[in-house]
Structure 1
Amino acid sequence: MLLHDQQKMKRSTQDKLELLISLGGLAVLIGAFLVWCSSKVVSIPGFCSALLSAVLFAIVCLRFVPEWMFFWRRRSVLRITKVEQVPTHKMAYKNIELKIFFSLILVNLSVIVAAFLLRRIIGYQETFVDSLEFWTCTDSYHYLAIARDWYLSEGDVDRLVQLVFLPGYPIVVRLVNCILYNYLYSGLLVSLLSFAGAGCVIYRLLLLDFDHQTAIRTIKYFCLLPGAFFFTAPMSESLFLLLCASCLYFARTKRWLLGCLFGTLAAFTRSLGLTLFVPLFFELVAEFKNTPKEKIPIRHFIEKFLESLLVFLGFGAYCLINYFVAGNPFKFLEYQKMHWNQQLGWFFNTACYQLEEAINSYSSNSTNLLGLWLPNLIAIFSSLIIMIFAVRLMRPSYTAWYISYFLIAIGATWLLSAPRYLITLIPVPLAVSLVSKKATINIPISIISGILYTLYFYAFVMRWQVW
């Protein structure tokens, strides 16, 4: 009877803690929204878009809190049951990974060929080799220029502002160029191999929690969601995806330091790599809470926490480069604001101005509407809606990663690349995979994704402000 009362009291305390966290987070969100409303004059459609995004985000967070608390207080850290359809034979396991690797290479090569054929159809008379120059559009040009010339401390302003692009990817391209002697080919090869390698690591990572079908379906959506063609481009997306997946996989398979080092490289490749600290911290606390203290001393967890801080070292190295090149470790912030009007803001402000720009461009600039504003809005709202349904199916550390990543990436004050930013976030394709487990859902979502991918790819090839 006494034990029962103690358990009941403990459960009551936990429920109160969940309620406190939920109400506290909700109060912060409402407060931020009200401050934003009082400081801006927005249209009615813009306000409705901002409000809807805030409500959807709040629902994701409210559904996340109980899963978070459950994750940190129970030995059975997931309510998900692994299905038996996981290859147990080592050779079968390797064969599947090889199939994934070469399939993703084929996907990327197909995208390159598709771009060439589409450009021929719309009137470009060029050879296949010449058509590869098309892939130097968007930010690819900047990455390849950095790989070739490094950052410049003086010269044309368009070259100086390249300091905003992190050095991880250009360094790898420069190393590969020592073999190929062509920066464009080197960039394409790095993206090709990184995406294929990322698929294999993601497959291994997902098998830690899910069945084979879910893992394969997730990889399918990495290839099918709108914006996935950016994994082909000589840009940092594929390498960043590989580093993020490696960080989580090694951290979760008791190779914590190695995982944190991959996190360091991810933060050296893209600033959003800093958000990897969030899932690492969630995993560390869960391990600490679920490990008997007499088996592993607390010093062990302190050491692992300090190792997880290595993630920030990657971005710190980038800031050091800023200092050596421009004399200011945060010069990139100045360039972002000056050249791209880019600062950190609120995601609901992004939802507001994206819809306002879409409405303004409806009659005057249809290419901006179809290539920029509409895809951004679809990516923002669809990811929130999908996550609402996937929260209780997904590992809580991944949901926490999504929340932190979404806040930073979508909070940009002049967001041009929502599909590209979100496609590299592992929880997004995973969420789509989890909610589409049934064929009656999987088939329609696959068809819709395929159609949207095709339309967005067409806009990309036509250069309709797809960034």
Structure 2
Amino acid sequence: MENLLSVLVVVPFVLAAAVALWRLFAGPAGGGMRTHALPPPAGQFRVGLCVLIWCGVLWCILLVWAARQCPGLRPGAAMWEYFGVNNDTRHYLNIARYGYGTQDLVEGRHLLIVFFPLYAWLLRPFVWLGENLWFAGMALSTAFTVCGAVLQYRTVARLLGEPAACGTVLFQFLIPGSFFFVMPQTEALFYCLSWAFLQALQDRRLVRAGLFGLLAALCRANGVLLAGCAAALLILHLRQHRHPSPCWSLPILLPFAGFGVYLAINQAVYGNPWQFTIYQRENWNNGLGFFGTTIRTLWNACGYLEGGVRIYMAGWGIAVMLAEVLILLLACRRLPVPWLLLGLAGFALANGQIWLISAQRYALGIAPLAPALCTITPRESRRGAVAGALAVLWLVYFAAFLRRDGIY
């Protein structure tokens, strides 16, 4: 069975990659990069307002649930106590409070280097709030989520049309695990920066795109992949016999510069620019691998893990990998080529972990996934059916998160 799972994930990936490369180098020179009218401000406002309401509802649910589970504690302390256990939130808040270092001012401080710095840097001015730093992080994540949704709507509308943009935003927030967007960790920030980069690139604001790419690479490792998206768009421009300006180098090089800053921090604190990989391997038995092997590892883990960890980390992770690669394969002729390549690279990096503990949460960092799902459901009836199925899965996954049942 494990060999079959590897085939089921590798073969569709190879086929989609082959189509993407053919479209990039031999297909129509436009690469699917059409241009539609910019959506009206009223539509953008409605999207932002709906997402803000969605975030507010999640705030209320999380606050009430934490208060019920931790009676007698103040709201900030209750959130720390209940929701700061099974996810990365506490690590980013501790980086904001204590920074990187080898002296254990807090338990496991030396291991914090495995987490990228940008989100914690943005939280640093609010450390005086103490336990309420959690709410500052949630407020920051909410702001980035709303901005990211509006940017996603604008960018998809310009390329695929306004109906597709509405469907994309809907699917984005129906993806199970999207509730992590309001948590004090990097999902919302990376979501916002990714779509800011893609919009700036689409508008040929190359300096701005480069800066957003730099920041994205300081937020998460897959920010570097945005450089490949810019390189693919440059190739399409060259195939159209256009003469690119030197500024095209910025969105290609600056994401690598952002990752270089992170390596420099490793060097400055530990004397080894790759120290984060050592800690990942020694403390979590994790590191980069091949996604075809990862799915086999998850299948084997189903045999010895128990309870929610077995269901939501191993079994659910297998389903997520298969669904992602199938969506990208089905969309490989409809999605703009640079986005398709970004999605495939994001899939390979997100799921290419020796020990994949949160495939569902990592899916939020694959920016083209929601647009790809929208392109393969052009009819409203089909799109509604998919949205309904995702809503059910979202509720199941959120309920497991509230129970702290193997969701990381």
For Structure 1 versus Structure 2, the TM-score category normalised by the shorter chain is: over 0.9
Residue 262 of structure 2: aligned partner: 318
* Partner AA of 1:78 in structure 2: G
| C-alpha deviation, 1:128, in angstroms | 8.3
Aligned to 1:290: 240
- Counterpart position of 1:39: none
Q: Aligned to 1:250, which of 191, 200, 223?
A: 200
Q: Distance in 2 between matches of 1:169 and 1:66?
A: 38
Match of residue 350 from structure 1: 294
Say if 2:207 and 2:250, in contact at 8 Å, map to a contact too.
no
Contact 1:371 1:460 in 2 (8 A): no
Q: Equivalent residue for 2:11?
A: 55
Distance 2:132 2:229 in 1: 38
In the alignment, structure 1 residue 78 sits paired with structure 2 residue 36? no
* Structure 2: gaps spanning 5 or more residues: none
| TM norm structure 1 | 0.81
The reply on whether 1:341 has 2:282 as its aligned counterpart is no
Which among 229, 232, 241 is matched to residue 182 of structure 2?
232
Residue 109 (1) aligns with residue 73 (2): no
- What displacement does 1:388 show? 1.4
The C-alpha deviation readout for 1:330-382, integer Å capped at 9, x for no partner, is: 11111111111111111000110111212433xxx121122211221121110
| Cα pair distance change 1:135/1:196, threshold 3 Å | farther
User: Is 1:150 matched with 2:99?
Assistant: yes
Q: What amino acid does structure 1 have at the position aligned with 2:56?
A: L
In 1, the alpha carbon distance for the partners of 2:402 and 2:98 equals 27
Name the CA shift for 1:281/1:126 in 2 (closer, same or farther; >3 Å): farther
The residue that corresponds to 1:438 in the other structure is: 379
SS in 2 for 1:406: helix
CA contact (8 A) 1:372 1:416 kept: yes
The aligned residue for residue 67 of structure 1 is 23
Identity %: 23
1:129 corresponds in structure 2 to 75
Instruction: Tell me how far apart the structure 2 counterparts of residues 320 and 458 of structure 1 sit (CA, whole Å).
Output: 40
Aligned residue type for 1:443: G
Matched, 1:280 2:230: yes
What is the rounded CA distance, in whole Å, between the counterparts of 2:282 and 2:73 in structure 1? 38
**Partner Cα distance (1:384, 1:307) in 2:** 26
For the residue of structure 2 that corresponds to 1:209, the secondary structure is helix
CA contact (8 A) 2:227 2:251 kept: no
Question: What's the offset of the Cα at 1:116?
Answer: 4.2
- Say if 1:250 and 1:256, in contact at 8 Å, map to a contact too: yes
Partner residue of 1:190 out of 123, 140, 144: 140
Deviation per residue, 1:58-104 (Å, 9 max, x gap):
22223323322355x52x4428685x8x64xxxxx222222222221
What RMSD over aligned residues (CA atoms) do the two structures have, in Å?
2.3
The aligned residue for residue 210 of structure 2 is 260
Q: Paired residue for 1:139?
A: 88
Give the SS at the match of 1:426.
Answer: coil
* TM-aligned CA distance change 1:114 to 1:126, over 3 Å: farther
Larger-Rg structure: 1
The 2-side partners of 1:457 and 1:181 are apart by 24
CA gap of 1:263–1:213, structure 2 versus 1, over 3 A, is same
1:409 aligns with one of 333, 350, 356: 350
Distance change >3 Å, CA 287–CA 146, structure 1 → 2: same
**Structure 1: 5+ residue stretches without partners:** 1-44, 88-92
The code of the aligned residue for 2:118 comes to: G
Give the Cα–Cα distance (whole angstroms) in 2 for the partners of residues 275 and 79 of structure 1: 19
Q: CA deviation at 1:327?
A: 1.5
The aligned amino acid for 1:353 is T
State the alpha-carbon separation in 1 of the partners of residues 147 and 43 from structure 2: 13
Distance 1:321 1:124 in 2: 37
Give how far 1:235 is off: 0.5
Q: SS state of the match for residue 413, structure 1?
A: coil
User: For 1:382 and 1:270, how far apart are their aligned partners in 2?
Assistant: 23
**Which residue of 2 is the match for residue 428 of structure 1?**
369
> In the alignment, what sits opposite 1:382?
323
- SS of equivalent to 1:78: coil
Deviation at 1:212, TM superposition (A): 0.9
Aligned length: 404
2:273 aligned partner: 329
User: What is the CA-CA distance between 1:429 and the residue it aligns to?
Assistant: 0.9
Q: Distance in 2 between matches of 1:190 and 1:306?
A: 28
Amino acid paired to 1:328: N
Contact 1:164 1:336 in 2 (8 A): yes
CA-to-aligned-CA distance 1:394-450 (integer Å, 9 cap, x gap): 000011111111112111101111111112212111111111221221122111111
TM-score of the aligned structures, taking structure 2 as reference length: 0.92
Compared with structure 1, are the counterparts of its residues 97 and 79 closer, same or farther at alpha carbon in structure 2 (3 Å cutoff)? closer
Q: Distance in 2 between matches of 1:308 and 1:218?
A: 26
Looking at structure 1, the residues matched to 98 and 154 of structure 2 have their Cα atoms a distance apart, in angstroms, of: 37
Greater Cα offset, 397-406 or 191-200: 397-406
Secondary structure class of the residue paired with 1:208: helix
Q: How does 1:358-397 map to 2 (within 5 A)?
A: 358-361=302-305, 365-397=306-338
Structure 2 distance, partners of 1:345, 1:394, is 27
SS in 2 for 1:360: coil
Q: Are the counterparts in 1 of residues 157 and 163 from structure 2 also a CA contact under 8 Å?
A: no
